[in-house]
Amino acid sequence: MIPTESKIMRLDEAAATVADWQRAGQKVVFTNGCFDIVHLGHIDYLEKARALGDRMVLGLNTDASVSRLKGPLRPVVNEYARARLMAALSFVDAVILFDEPTPLQLIEAVKPDILVKGDDYSIETIVGADFVINRGGEVKTISLVEGYSTTKLIEKIKEGYIQNKRRLHTE
């Protein structure tokens, strides 16, 4: 079994690893995201993404990056824990943390064969799509599981807590 920490790579290390995989004839899929509070929607999406190729590289937003995107109360789970969780998934072969506003630098360094995002994006709006297509690669979207998002999960937890607190105070 591969230790999960060994799947968490620096950008230069990941680029070299991907090049080795590609030389061996393997198709490499790349996707990215925050993956804060992992839920069924994340697992389904990542499984489907990995099924498109032989290896999958995941760009993971740093804590600072998640806060800039989602607000000051996020992430709920810190970047080290999120990276370890993602690396523990059998269908994730490499995890790279990134702090930039977009994963373009990662995509250009890793040079994936297939770039994937959820179907809440159109191919024209996917960062790095032009780069991958111009290199002869593919860009695909994957249907998301309806009703699952970290934001919705946080709201459900907050609402349940508030209702329970009210109930306890009225007893």
* CATH for 102: 3.40.50.620
- For residue 152, tell me if it sits in a domain: no
- For residue 64, tell me if it sits in a domain: yes
- For residue 168, tell me if it sits in a domain: no
Give percent above pLDDT 90 in the chain.
75
- For residue 153, tell me if it sits in a domain: no
- For residue 138, tell me if it sits in a domain: yes
Predicted pLDDT of residue 165: 64
Structure tokens at 12: 């230069």
Whether residue 32 contacts residue 60, with contact meaning beta carbons closer than 8 Å, is answered with yes
Least confident of 22-36, 74-88, 150-164: 150-164
Give percent above pLDDT 70 in the chain.
92
pLDDT confidence tier of residue 12, bands split at 50, 70 and 90: very high
- For residue 160, tell me if it sits in a domain: no
Mean pLDDT comparison of 72-76, 90-94, 143-147, 157-161, highest-scoring range: 90-94
Name the pTM for this structure. Answer: 0.88
Predicted pLDDT of residue 144: 85
- For residue 155, tell me if it sits in a domain: no
DSSP string, 54-114: SEEEEEEE-HHHHHHHH-TT--SS-HHHHHHHHHHSTT--EEEEE-SSSSHHHHHHH--SE
Which residues constitute the domain of residue 65?
Answer: 4-146
- The total number of structural domains in the chain stands at 1
- For residue 157, tell me if it sits in a domain: no
* Average pLDDT rounded to a whole number, residues 72-78: 91
Whether residue 103 contacts residue 128, with contact meaning beta carbons closer than 8 Å, is answered with yes
Q: Which residue has the higher pLDDT, 49 or 70?
A: 49
Structure tokens at 80: 């080290």
